[in-house]
Every structure is written in C-alpha cells, then in structure tokens.
Amino acid sequence: MGAKGESKSPREVRRILEERARAAGFDLVGVSGAGPLVEGGERLKEWQEAGMAADMGYMKRPVELLSDPRRLQKSARSVVSLGVSYYPGEHPENVEGGGRVARYAWGKDYHVVIKERLRSLRVELEEALECRIKARAFTDAVPLLERSAAQHAGLGFFGRNSCLINGNIGSYFFIADLVVDQEIEPDEWGTGTCGKCTRCMAACPTGAIKSPGVVDARLCISYLTIENKGEIPRELRHAIKDWAFGCDICQEVCPYNKRKATRSRWPDFSAGSGAGPYLKITEVLGIRSEEEFEERFGGTPLTRPGRAGLLRNCCVAAGNLGLEEAVPALVRCLREDEAPLVRGHAAWALAKIGGEEAGAALREVLEEETDEWCGKEIEFALSMLFEVAEGDSGGSSIG
Ligand code: B12
Ligand code: SF4
Ligand code: SF4
C-alpha cells in the first residue's frame, strides 16, 4: 500500500468504497476484518465430515484454507463483500416442455461479468485513495466461505435454506469479494431471522435441507445437475422434475423473495442475454460435439456441467415431462452419443415416456452396448417398460 493511501482514515475509505461500489452497480456493500471465519469454519468441518460435500474436491480442502482470507493473501487487512441482484423475474409457465434453468444462470457467465466490474472498481479505488491496492478479486471461484464473509460484512443473515438473505432484496444475489491490504472500517454482522417459517425445508423435493442452514449436496438438485460429473441416482431422478440446470425451489418459496426480490439492474443477467428460463430439450439433445456445445452455450454458466452433463439433465427432464416429441432425439442419443452418461440417461427417459419406438430402440441397443453401467441402465429401462406393459394388460401379480 502506498504512503498516500494511509493518510485516509478507515472511515473515509469505507465511505469512498460505498460510493464507488454503488456507482459500479453493486446493490450491497459491506466490509469485515480479514481474520478467520471461525463459526463458518466449524460448520464447514461438520458438513465435510458428514460427506455432504459429495464429489466437490475443492470443498474438501482443509477448513483452515477455506475459512481464512489471509491464506489467500498474506497482506489482507479487510474483506470487502459485495452483493449484486441477479433476479431476472419469475419463470413463465412451462407450456412447451422446456428444461428449466435456475434464475442465476439465465444470462451471461457471472464469473466473467462480475470480475470485470471488480477490476474496474479496484482501479477506481486506487485513483480515489491515491495508492496501489493489493487485492484478490473473485466471485464463486476462489475457495473462501463467501457467505460467511458476507454475513460478517453485514450483507445479510443465513436462512434455513442456507442462502444469505438480505432484508431489503431477498436472496437472489451473487456475492463478490475483494480481499484488500487496506484498513477499512468494518460493518456490523448481518442479522435477521426466519422466525417460525420452515417453508424451504418442506418444499425441497429431495429433502436436501437436513437441518436449518445445512444442505446435503448429495441430494441437492443444484449439485446433481451442475457440479455432479456422474449419473443422477435413479431414486432422485423423478424429484428433479423439469429442472435442467440448478434449482430455485427453496428460494422461490421464501417470503423474503416473494416480497423483496428486486430485479437485477445488470443487463448481463437478463433472460435475453443468455440461455433464458428454459432450454429447448430436443435441441440440446442433438448437440454431439464440444464445438457445437461451446457455440451454443459458451459465455453462459451452462457450460459448467459440460456437454454430457447438460444432455444427461435434459434426458431426465424429458422423461419427467413425458415429452413424446423428444423420443426421436432420445433414440439418437441412445444409439449415437459417445458418452455412456448420455446413453444411460436416455434409456431411462425413453422408458419413462414409453411407447413402441422407445421399446424397440432399447431392445435393439441392449446387445451392442459395451459400457457396463450403461448396459444395466438399458436393462432397467426395459424392465420399467415391461412393468408398465404388464400393468396395462392387467397382467399384474393379482392376476
Ligand atoms: C459448494 C457450493 C454449492 C453447493 C453446496 C451448497 C451449500 N449450501 O453448501 C451446491 C452445488 C449444492 C450449491 C447450490 C447453490 N448455490 Co452455491 N455455492 C457453493 C460455494 C462454492 C461454497 C458453499 C459452501 O461453503 N458450502 C459449505 C457449507 C458448510 O457452507 P454453507 O451452506 O454456506 O453454510 C454456512 C452456514 O452454515 C454458515 N453459518 C455460520 N454461522 C451460522 C449460523 C447459523 C444459525 C446458520 C444457519 C448458518 C451459519 O457457515 C457455513 C459456512 O459459510 C459458494 C461460493 C463460496 N465460495 O462460498 C456458492 C454459493 C453459496 N452458491 C450460490 C448460489 C446462488 C447457489 C444456488 C442458489 C444456485 C442454484 N440456483 O442452483 C444453489 C442454492 C442451494 C442452497 N440452498 O444452498 C451463491 C449464494 C448467494 C447467496 N445469496 O446466498 C454463492 C455464495 C456463490 C456466489 N458467490 O454468489 N452451491
Ligand atoms: S436448491 Fe432445490 S434441491 Fe437444493 S436445497 Fe434448495 S430446494 Fe432443495
Ligand atoms: S423459506 Fe422461510 S425458513 Fe426458508 S429461508 Fe426463507 S424465511 Fe427462512
């Protein structure tokens, strides 16, 4: 930090930060010291030990790393937490049988968009404070407990759905961080309460909210459809309904969002700037190469699960929607797709939708399938179809 910057008091720096961050479009601004996030760290440890981090390797790193801003930057003195609403509005009704996309992902890739603004905010601060600022700038990228840091900085309180809720704008906001070597006047910790409400816990379709503020990622649709690289466990597929990317249910039911959700002022997060609220399932199921995938979804958050992951999700959504128009595309996935992940979920979806074409395709590929897991999925799909057929013809166990 340059000598000139030190002449400004921590309070004055706080005032300048607020002014510049708001001008840069951030809805929430707060500051905390750079000490370890003790309570968050303890909760993280319990969560890790219970296996709730699923297969997210980066969430299994030592707690001391994830909960200490100074492990990110030695010279850190303050953590600036910023909030930006991404709320693009409500989902229109799913009349065309689309794959539902969580609101945070309707627009452009927030990592890129926010990072750009953080960079210019830092430059502006350097100019206003007349000094160089050493800073780490990130959002949802560097492993630090961002919600805990933001709660310490006064941005909100932890809801029972584990999201950080702000009394004025609800929870549809991203958290972004600037870990800086500046002494800035800290804010009071965020307070607030869910009161007697438990709506999110009751509404979660997979029972992922195990206790207030504790989400088991292994059951969370957001994990299953985004971070998960493998299969979606069969017993959870039906609960995913039409969600093709992420899940908003525990936020949709939240009274804070119903009353306070404030539309994003950033055009980058509007439905028109990215994939929007629904994916056209048949179109996604037809994407066979990485190039095509990048062309269609590059620059949006939807690249995260990869091509096979997104097709897997669309298979499950098609099955749950009983989307007959998707049968030809699913049959092509079953026959042609190079990823067993896609073939296996296509088999399940075909069995869910049913019909002669689906049955014929499943029987045809059974002998040729070389992947063991996929072969089992096809066998299971055929048994599902057989059960339905038996049920239809009155051939149940009663008979
Ligand atoms: C891993 C991860 C996930 C995982 C696990 C989610 C989870 N609840 O842990 C999955 C893939 C499931 C996920 C889903 C989503 N995520 Co996410 N995710 C993260 C990530 C990378 C780490 C979260 C984490 O540390 N989990 C570990 C557990 C132990 O931490 P936690 O649940 O936050 O619990 C904290 C509280 O218990 C808290 N705590 C401390 N004291 C107290 C006291 C009380 C009384 C309580 C209740 C809690 C509490 O300490 C813990 C540690 O911080 C963060 C970014 C980051 N680097 O922080 C984004 C982040 C949390 N995700 C975000 C978003 C937007 C989502 C989704 C809404 C996306 C979607 N629509 O599909 C969903 C929401 C699901 C949900 N209900 O949480 C935002 C949340 C913004 C906000 N306003 O809260 C973040 C902050 C990204 C960002 N920079 O904006 N996510
Ligand atoms: S995001 Fe969906 S699946 Fe995950 S905890 Fe919330 S309601 Fe449950
Ligand atoms: S739905 Fe109710 S319990 Fe869940 S986070 Fe919102 S206020 Fe809290």
pLDDT of 335-375, one tens digit each? 999 999 999 999 999 999 999 999 999 999 999 999 999 99
**Does the domain made of 199-389 have the CATH classification 1.10.390.10?**
no
pLDDT of 113-137, one tens digit each? 999 999 999 999 999 999 999 999 9
Distance 65 CA to ligand 3 centre (A): 30
CB atoms within 10 A of CB 334: 27
What's the 3-state SS for the chain? CCCHHHHCCHHHHHHHHHHHHHHCCCCEEEEEECCCCHHHHHHHHHHHHCCCCCCCHHHCCCHHHHCCHHHHCCCCCEEEEEEEECCCCCCCCCCCCCEEECHHHCCCCHHHHHHHHHHHHHHHHHHHHCCCCCEEEECCCCCCCHHHHHHHCCCCEECCCCCEEECCCECCEEEEEEEECCCCCCCCCCCCCCCCCCHHHHHCCCCCEEECCEECHHHCHHHHHHHCCCCCCHHHHHHHCCEEECCCHHHHCCHHHHHHCCCCCCHHHCHHHCCCCEECHHHHHCCCCHHHHHHHHCCCHHHCCHHHHHHHHHHHHHHHHCCHHHHHHHHHHHHHCCCHHHHHHHHHHHHHHCCHHHHHHHHHHHCCCCCHHHHHHHHHHHHHHHHHHHHHCCCCCCC
pLDDT, mean over the chain: 95
Which residue's CA is the nearest one to ligand 1's atom 1? 59
The model's pTM is 0.96
The domain limits of the chain are: 4-87+107-180, 199-389
Which residue's CA is the nearest one to ligand 3's atom 6? 254
> Looking at ligand 3, which atom is closest to the CA of residue 161?
5
Q: What is the pLDDT of residue 3?
A: 47
Distance 103 CA to ligand 2 centre (A): 13
Q: What is the pLDDT of residue 392?
A: 63
Ligand nearest to the CA of 164: 1
Q: What is the pLDDT of residue 7?
A: 77
Is residue 201 scored above 60 in pLDDT?
yes
Is residue 142 scored above 90 in pLDDT?
no
Q: What percent of the chain has pLDDT over 90?
A: 93
CB-ligand 3 contact for 170 (6 Å cutoff): no
CB-ligand 1 contact for 206 (6 Å cutoff): no
What is the residue type of 266? W
CB-ligand 1 contact for 313 (6 Å cutoff): no
Q: What is the pLDDT of residue 387?
A: 81
Which residue's CA is the nearest one to ligand 2's atom 6? 250
CB-ligand 3 contact for 176 (6 Å cutoff): no
- Annotated catalytic residue: which of 27, 68, 140, 371? 140
Nearest-10 Cα torsion for 59, 106, 305, 335:
160
User: What confidence category does residue 386 fall into, taking pLDDT thresholds of 50, 70 and 90?
Assistant: confident
Distance 50 CA to ligand 1 centre (A): 16
Residue 348 · residue 322 · CB < 8 Å: no
Q: Is 181 a catalytic residue?
A: no
pLDDT of 22-36, one tens digit each? 999 999 999 999 999
Is residue 315 scored above 50 in pLDDT?
yes
More confident residue, 387 or 209: 209
The whole-number average pLDDT for the span 186-208 is: 98
- Smallest CA-to-CA distance from 380 within 340, 355, 350 is with 350
User: What confidence category does residue 376 fall into, taking pLDDT thresholds of 50, 70 and 90?
Assistant: very high
Distance 163 CA to ligand 1 centre (A): 6
- Smallest CA-to-CA distance from 229 within 135, 310, 284, 337 is with 310
Is residue 333 scored above 50 in pLDDT?
yes
Which residue's CA is the nearest one to ligand 3's atom 7? 194
CB-ligand 3 contact for 215 (6 Å cutoff): no
Is residue 389 scored above 80 in pLDDT?
no
pLDDT of 273-302, one tens digit each? 999 999 999 999 999 999 999 999 999 999
Ligand nearest to the CA of 239: 2
Q: What is the pLDDT of residue 6?
A: 55
Residues framing ligand 2 (Cβ under 6 A)? 161, 204, 206, 208-209, 215, 220-222, 247, 249-250
